Every structure is written in structure tokens, then in C-alpha cells.
Amino acid sequence: MMRPRSRMVFLIFLAILLVGFGYLMRSFWVAAALALITAMLLRPVHARIERTCRHRRYLAAALSVVLTGSCVILPLASIVATILLEMVRFSREIIPTLQEGQLAQSLDAMNAWLLGFLGPMREWLGEEWNVRDLLVAAAQNGGRILYSYSPRFLLSTAHFGVNVILWTLFLFVLFAEGPALYRYVMMMTPISPHHERYIAREVRGMVAAVFFAMIATSAANAVLISLAFLVCGIERPVMWGLIAFGFSFVPVIGALSIWGGAAVYLLLVGAWPSAVGLALFGVLIISQTDNVIKPLVMRGRVNIHPMLLLLSILGGVQTMGPVGLIFGPVFLAIFLAALHIYRQEFVEPATAA
């Protein structure tokens, strides 16, 4: 009679210890989680390298790490660095345009119209409230925030270098000892092997589906926005395409913030035919890439409502920063898999009885 109770007490004690260990390792869990996701995505590639190396695990792990860094991480880091640097430069260039010139006059006129439209409610805003001043302050703050993520700033911090080293070490260990670690962890969990395989399959499917769907959708948005900006006569359309590629990882509002902001800018400077054309192209074509490309890429991989997926991504980004783009959907996949197991094991048998 005491054995189930003793086991429950020990499991609670083990959970407390696990939480404490996680708190101690909180500085390293992002690098470990990124390495885990990378290893999951590149598992078929590593398996082929391991067969080529005649199952010499450590040699194959070293080659996989080198291949990952040279063929995946460095190009991706170059794209991210280009996007960040261009956004920093744009935030600095837009400030003089907001302070003087035709755009500043248009914003002042819009501000006067808005204050007149509000009437008595303008007292809530205050006499000093001004749209142009708010945009200038937003550009200045945005530039400072973007600079904190720029490669020039990150490379000068020891924390970034430590995370890169930790990511490399974790990735090497996962490539070399991943199957053994997986079997050991699964053996220690109180979940049945069938449910363990189900959860692992759901997580792998979610990671791969979300990652490749985001890449495909972002690439399509980048091409479409670059072409639209080229037709509308906006300077540096390729640069804006790269920025759209990065922003498109945030669903719904990502690409919209680029082409929608450009349409508003064209309207304020008086180029209303281009503004209307860009807005229509954005609504009818660019906004539909999520509805067309993502289902094609994710077909057969996951079956999750888009709103749940959106909330998991936004919540992950708000909680964990950029890495939440992947971790949010992963946690959602684990949660939904646990709900499925609970329904299968407890709800359906009780209903049948």
C-alpha cells in the first residue's frame, strides 16, 4: 500500500530537483535547446555522414558540426546580420526625413486633422501630443534596440561567444550520443513507450514543419515585396526584401508591417497611385502566402489550428525572444500530445464504460 505513495513522493522530489537544476543551468538552456533543434532537423544528414564514416560516431559528429556551421549557420547568420544592419541604417536615415521635408509636412497636417477630429477628447492626449514626434522617438528607440542585436554589438560581448561555444559542444554531443541519451531519458520517464514515441514524433514533426514552412513563406514574401517595391520606385528593393524575409517569421503582422508601412509612406509623400497599387497587391497577393504556402509545406506533418500556432509563436517570442519562434510551437506540440494521450487513456475509456 505504501509503494505507490512512496513512488509519488519520490517523483515530486525528483521534479523539484529537476526544476532546481534547470534554474542553475538557466544561462545555458537556450544554447542547448537550439542545439537540440538543429540536431533534430539535421538528423537524416548526420545519419548519412555516420554511415559514410562506417559508424565512427565522434568522427561523424565532428564532420556534421563543421558541415552545419559552414553550410547552414554562417549563411543564415550573414542574412540576419545584413537585415539588422540595414534596419539600423534605415532607422537612422528616416529621422531627418521625419523632422523636415514633405513627409514631415504631411505628418503635421495629419496631426492637426486628428486633433481637430477628436475635438474635446484632445485634452486626454495633451497639447504637446504630436504624431511626428512619436515617430521620431520610435525610430530612435528602434535603432537602439536593433543595434543591441547587431553583429558589431554581439561580437563584442563575451556572452555571445560563450553561447556559440556551448552550442557547438552541445551539438557535437547530441550528434555523437543523441540516440543513447534519448533512450536513457525515455527509460527514466513514467510514460509508456508507445506514448513516448508519439510525443517524440509530434515534436519532430512540429519542429520540421514550422521551420520549413517559415523559410518557404518568408522567401516568398521577400521576393514579392522586392518586386512590388521595384515597380513602385522604392529605393533598394532587394534590401527591403531581405528585411521582409526576417520580419515574415512573425506571422500575420510580419510582412504586413513592411508593405503596409511602405504604402502609408507613399500615400504621405503624395504618390497615391503607387500607394493604392501596393496596398492592393499586399492584400490580394502577399497576404495570401501564409494561406497557400504554409498548408502545402505543413500538409501531413501537423494538424493544428493556425490561431493556436500564431499564439504559440507570439507567446514564445515575447517570453524567450527570437528563439521563441521555434520553442513556442514545440511547447504547443508537447501540450497537444499530452492532451491526446490523456483523452486516449482516461476520457475515452470512461465514456465507453
Mapped to the 3 state alphabet, what secondary structure does 245-277 carry?
HHHCCCCCHHHHHHHHHHHHHHHHCCCHHHHHH
- Show which of 135, 170, 188 is a domain's final residue: 188
Q: Do 238 and 167 belong to one domain? A: no
Distance CA 168, CA 284 (A): 43
- Show which of 134, 168, 188 is a domain's final residue: 188
Residue at 15 is within a domain: no
Residues in CB range of 287: below 8 A, 6 or more apart: 255, 256
Distance of CA 175 to the CA centre of its chain: 24
- Segments in the chain forming alpha helices (H): 2-24, 29-41, 43-52, 57-68, 74-99, 102-118, 122-125, 131-148, 151-154, 158-188, 193-232, 237-247, 253-268, 272-284, 289-298, 306-320, 324-342, 348-352
Q: Is there a contact between 149 and 101 (Cβ–Cβ < 8 Å)? A: no
**How is residue 120 annotated by DSSP?**
G
Q: Do 317 and 205 belong to one domain? A: yes
Q: Using only C-alpha atoms, what is the Rg of the chain?
A: 25
Show the beta-strand stretches assigned E in the chain. none
Q: Cell 524567450 sits at which residue?
A: 320
Q: Which domain holds residue 175?
A: 25-188
Q: Cell 544554447 sits at which residue?
A: 31
Q: Do 30 and 49 belong to one domain? A: yes
Distance CA 145, CA 123 (A): 32
Q: Do 245 and 313 belong to one domain? A: yes
Residues in CB range of 315: below 8 A, 6 or more apart: 324, 328
Q: What is the pTM (predicted TM-score) of this model? A: 0.62
**How is residue 235 annotated by DSSP?**
S
Q: Do 36 and 157 belong to one domain? A: yes
Residue at 235 is within a domain: yes
Q: Do 183 and 201 belong to one domain? A: no
Domain count of the fold of the chain? 2
Q: Do 167 and 214 belong to one domain? A: no
Distance CA 189, CA 199 (A): 12
- Show which of 157, 188, 219 is a domain's final residue: 188
Residue at 14 is within a domain: no
Residue at 1 is within a domain: no
Q: Do 180 and 38 belong to one domain? A: yes
Question: Angle between the 29-41 and 43-52 helix axes, to the nearest 10 degrees?
Answer: 70
Distance CA 256, CA 281 (A): 11
Q: Do 240 and 93 belong to one domain? A: no
Residue at 9 is within a domain: no
Residue at 299 is within a domain: yes
Q: Do 111 and 67 belong to one domain? A: yes
Please, is 75 exposed, middle or buried when counting C-beta atoms within 10 Å of its C-beta (0-12, 13-18, 19+)?
Answer: exposed
- How far from each other are the two terminal CA atoms of the chain, in whole angstroms? 27
Tens digit of each residue's pLDDT, the chain (353 residues): 446 677 777 778 878 888 888 788 777 777 887 888 888 888 888 889 988 888 888 899 999 999 888 877 777 677 767 767 777 777 776 667 666 766 667 766 776 766 666 666 655 555 556 666 666 676 667 666 665 655 555 555 556 667 778 888 989 998 988 888 877 777 766 667 777 777 777 777 777 777 787 788 888 888 999 999 888 888 888 888 888 887 777 666 678 888 888 887 787 777 778 888 888 998 888 888 877 777 777 665 666 666 777 777 778 777 776 667 777 777 887 787 778 777 777 776 666 65
